[in-house]
Amino acid sequence: MKELIKTIVLVLLVAVAVYFTFVVNKVNNRMDQLNTADSVHVVNIERFDHNVHDLELQFIGRGKHIQQFQKDLTAMDEKLDDTARKFDVKIDSLGLLIRELKMNTEAELANLKRDQEDTANRLSQFQRTTNRTLTDIQTAASRLTRELSDLEKRVKTLETPPAEAKKK
């Protein structure tokens, strides 16, 4: 029986050793698969890390471009505001000049109208005076014509000898 127990224990030990060898081989195969997958994952992770690094560099570059664009946009806004203020000042100045020109033009037109009325009054007065003078001259001319014809009649009567004196 001792021998039988030894044989059973030995068979059990051999079975356990075979089972243990089988399990170890299976574990080693699984470990090899895991190591292979791990190395693939490591390569993928390294590639991913490299791509992430490239993307970070691109984002940093783009971020710098965006910051530069923001600065340029701010500068353009400030320049636009400055130009708008200058235009507002020029428009206000131009409006003031136009109002001054309007007031000066209205004053000059009023002066011209007053001068025109004065000139029309003086011309009317001159016309009346000229008409009066012309009438006076015409009256004097007709009076002179009458007086001249009266004088001519007198001269004719003086020049013509009386008819009685010729008979003698």
Q: Could you read off the pLDDT of 38-80 as tens digits, one per residue?
A: 888 888 888 888 888 888 888 887 778 888 889 999 999 999 9
Do 125 and 90 belong together in one domain?
A: yes
How many structural domains are present in the chain? 2
Do 82 and 130 belong together in one domain?
A: yes
Q: Is residue 158 part of a domain?
A: no
Q: Is residue 140 part of a domain?
A: no
CA distance 59 to 49: 15
Q: Is residue 141 part of a domain?
A: no
Residue 163: in which H helix or E strand, if any?
A: helix 163-166
Q: Is residue 145 part of a domain?
A: no
Q: Identify the domain containing residue 14 by its residue range.
A: 1-54
CA distance 133 to 127: 10
Q: Is residue 106 part of a domain?
A: yes
Q: Is residue 164 part of a domain?
A: no
Do 48 and 80 belong together in one domain?
A: no
CA distance 40 to 45: 8
pLDDT tens, position by position, 103-114? 999 999 999 999
pLDDT at 165: 53
CA distance 42 to 35: 10
